[in-house]
Amino acid sequence: MNTSDLELEKQEQISRGKRIKYIRENELHMNKTQLAKEIGISSQFLGLVEEGRGNLMYRNIRKLRDLSGHSADYILYGFDDTVINKTKELLNVYSDKEIVKAINVLKDIAIFIKN
């Protein structure tokens, strides 16, 4: 890994820590000890993660994802996951059969555009 890759990775780690801290404080309304216990790590290590000096393992991310309702993509990379929930809400009014029909129409449109 070259220097710019390492710098980018470090910035991502810092951003990830800030997101996790934001989720803990503003959405889950927990202190470090409470969240750490819920996701299976020490509060000291959670502090390092939130400061951008540590990374969660998969099982801890999965627990945080389940607890917070955020996608792993949001927790790890900051990708907007509100579109997933909004889509679920919008699709709730349609039957499975209607959704399948709509998907098939979208496939046909994509093929038409491609050609």
In the chain, where the domains are located: 1-79, 81-115
pLDDT digits (tens, 9 = 90+) for 15-43: 999 999 999 999 999 999 999 999 999 99
Specify the pLDDT at position 82. 81
Q: For the whole model, what pTM was predicted?
A: 0.72
Specify the pLDDT at position 83. 80
pLDDT digits (tens, 9 = 90+) for 56-85: 999 999 999 999 999 999 999 999 888 877
What is the architecture of the domain spanning 1-79?
Orthogonal Bundle (1.10)
The 3 state secondary structure assigned to the chain is: CCHHHHHHHHHHHHHHHHHHHHHHHHHCCCCHHHHHHHHCCCHHHHHHHHCCCCCCCHHHHHHHHHHHCCCHHHHHHCCCCHHHHHHHHHHCCCCHHHHHHHHHHHHHHHHHHHC
| Percentage of residues in the chain having pLDDT higher than 90 | 82
